[in-house]
A and B are shown apart, each in its own frame.
Chain A
């Protein structure tokens, strides 16, 4: 009987905690249908079933921590009626390209392996759980969220071909499939849930091949915008004093420290201070709990050729202004030469986005999941400013914040923003 084992959910991960069983003993499960959730210190993931069949025995209770490779359950042969209940369309979400869903370490036993395992040959065969679809068909089904179960195929043996699906989409006959299961926190929806057909490229149009980075950005942005309720707020900070100080100091700073004295490291330090004051902002929504992160790891958005990366300054609150400036310089350089390591790109607890570098004065950034907040620094502009009922010309910088409203409410966001503003306005080394 095939055994499902604890998957390796990251190179350095050695064990995982069973979060929640999505199937009960005796329940039928389709191949790739979510079986359970596993949490590690890095990520919580849905584990798809590697086999079709029936969940016959569970070895690991919810909350149990199991070493990688140890058995967590057994999948037996499904009875006819149970197998009928599971259609391959349910496979689609678990197959999203680019997700971090690892296949469980599996150990099929030849004698009792389900028919679908041995039938994984080139011929389009009927397996116990219904029709098999090609990767191209499955991708189209996922992208367009359509139901092809009733579609008559024109391929060999009535196979549904990619062209059949495209014709269905073009004819406008596609109807949306029923939503698969309930939405799970870290499930990635398709990058382009496009219900409308896209006109094919015409003469003079250019087709740009989507890079892996672009795909990842698209998936993460859709994930963020569709699963995180964003709330937005903005404050205006009077940075006249720090701007003047920076003007007088920057030459000497550069000579002494070897890095440019820009507003970015000053902003990073202001955010660090505010996070220490309001630790709730340095957090992650984890479904049934909120994790407050101890380390203040500041992600900084760096624009590179054909994309964007967010390297992370670890424990930024331990660093001096010069330390942050050097870290920014080094990470941005590595980002542009594509030499960032995984460690330098993971575990960020909040992101600082220097949108002002390109002249923006207000923006609504998208949270970098699983973080709970993203904060921008807008362009420093001279503005007429009222001080003590008199008008002065001051250097003003807007600071915008988007937060995960599941984790935080407006009041704490406002206090956090006020803290950042105060720190910028009274900044001193």
Chain B
């Protein structure tokens, strides 16, 4: 198996799907001659031509709006929002239009659209290059939301998302792009949307997380293993549909849940996960469900201290796991 970065796995999924299916095309800012700000699509314009690698103005509502129309007309557009921080102008096109098309047309139309966007902090991106947007979208029925964290999951899920007949918001944590390397199976590799990954098994505490925090949680779990605390780490991979079964099976085993995400706490993914546990597994719980999340402040600051204060770190995750294990 080849070892790749997350960034390369995005590139490979896009490239192989474009080779495989002529209805797949890309739209976004700076994806043509510039090859995307992270160089993901470098060379794509020469290889696939202007019709399939469409450079757009700085107009997110138009990028997604045009992609919705193309998707309804039989194409499989992959629209890129350069940074998740700029997705808000396209909120109506994603939530108000794309997510409702199948339902609104009683199944007569579908919208096989992927909106990809880098999100998250930890790269000194300051107020407008650090945001996590998943909680704004996972509430919406009709929209799938993926947030993988490893190269294999990224390539497998992005391939599934492009082949999916309904709209998928595909979130790529920008800190993982070059930081995280891993093996990716060769050939036509897919990962099913809606299935979590048990990244590590343990019997004392379940950590339910996704994105960059999966890697931080794994680091914390390794530290604690030396102290005799066995942590189970669940990487949701898909935020919606959410894999309730894997979550509940894990709680049935450890009886203690810690939910970790970088996104702000109030109304975040952790709120839904803890509600699922409370509704379905109250009598399995041996401790209160805990959340370790970003603080409820408007944004991640530029200063290193602000960024560190915002993002859960392996050390803080380890402390939270230990507190639950000792409870």
- Among B245, B248, B287, the residue within 8 A (CB) of A134 is B287
A135–B288 contact, CB under 8 A? no
Mark each residue of chain B from 230 to 268: 1 if its CB lies under 8 Å from any CB of chain A, else 0: 000000000000000100110000010000000000000
A136–B327 contact, CB under 8 A? no
A136–B326 contact, CB under 8 A? no
A134–B285 contact, CB under 8 A? yes
**Residue B219 interfacial (CB < 8 Å):** no
**Residue B222 interfacial (CB < 8 Å):** no
**Residue A326 interfacial (CB < 8 Å):** no
B286–A137 contact, CB under 8 A? yes
B283–A139 contact, CB under 8 A? yes
**Residue B282 interfacial (CB < 8 Å):** yes
A–B complex contacts, Cβ < 8 Å, 25 sampled: A97-B283, A134-B255, A134-B285, A134-B286, A135-B282, A135-B283, A135-B285, A136-B255, A136-B283, A136-B284, A136-B285, A137-B286, A138-B283, A139-B284, A155-B326, A155-B327, A156-B326, A156-B327, A159-B327, A161-B286, A161-B327, A162-B255, A163-B286, A209-B245, A209-B249
* CA of A188 to CA of B242, assembled, Å: 34
Cβ-Cβ contact count across A and B, 8 Å cutoff: 34
Write the chain A residue with the least CB distance to B245.
A209
Write the chain A residue with the least CB distance to B203.
A163
Say how far B203's CB is from chain A's closest CB, in angstroms.
Answer: 9
* CA of A138 to CA of B287, assembled, Å: 12
* CA of A135 to CA of B288, assembled, Å: 10
Binding site for B on A (CB under 8 A): 97, 122, 124, 134-139, 155-156, 159, 161-163, 209
Q: Identify the interface centre among A97, A136, A137: most chain B CB within 10 Å of its CB.
A: A136
Mark each residue of chain B from 297 to 327: 1 if its CB lies under 8 Å from any CB of chain A, else 0: 0000000000000000000000000000011
Say how far B322's CB is from chain A's closest CB, in angstroms.
Answer: 11
A122–B288 contact, CB under 8 A? yes
Say how far B231's CB is from chain A's closest CB, in angstroms.
Answer: 15
Say how far A190's CB is from chain B's closest CB, in angstroms.
Answer: 12
* CA of A138 to CA of B283, assembled, Å: 8
Say how far B287's CB is from chain A's closest CB, in angstroms.
Answer: 7
* CA of A134 to CA of B326, assembled, Å: 14
* CA of A91 to CA of B286, assembled, Å: 17
The 4 closest A-B pairs by CB, nearest first: A162-B286, A122-B288, A136-B286, A139-B283
* CA of A97 to CA of B282, assembled, Å: 10
Q: Identify the interface centre among A134, A155, A163: most chain B CB within 10 Å of its CB.
A: A134
Write the chain B residue with the least CB distance to A212.
B280
Say how far A118's CB is from chain B's closest CB, in angstroms.
Answer: 16
* CA of A155 to CA of B323, assembled, Å: 10
Sample of 16 further A-B pairs with CB below 8 A, known A136-B284, A136-B285, A163-B286: A97-B283, A122-B288, A134-B285, A134-B286, A134-B287, A135-B284, A135-B286, A136-B286, A137-B286, A155-B326, A156-B327, A159-B327, A161-B286, A162-B255, A162-B286, A209-B245
Residues of B within 8 A of A134 (CB): 255, 285-287
Say how far B325's CB is from chain A's closest CB, in angstroms.
Answer: 10
Residues of B within 8 A of A135 (CB): 282-286
Residues of A within 8 A of B282 (CB): 135
Say how far A91's CB is from chain B's closest CB, in angstroms.
Answer: 13
Residues of B within 8 A of A155 (CB): 326-327
Q: Within B281-295, which residues are at the interface with A (CB < 8 Å)?
A: 282-288
* CA of A139 to CA of B287, assembled, Å: 13
Residues of A within 8 A of B249 (CB): 209
Say how far A143's CB is from chain B's closest CB, in angstroms.
Answer: 10
Write the chain A residue with the least CB distance to B284.
A136
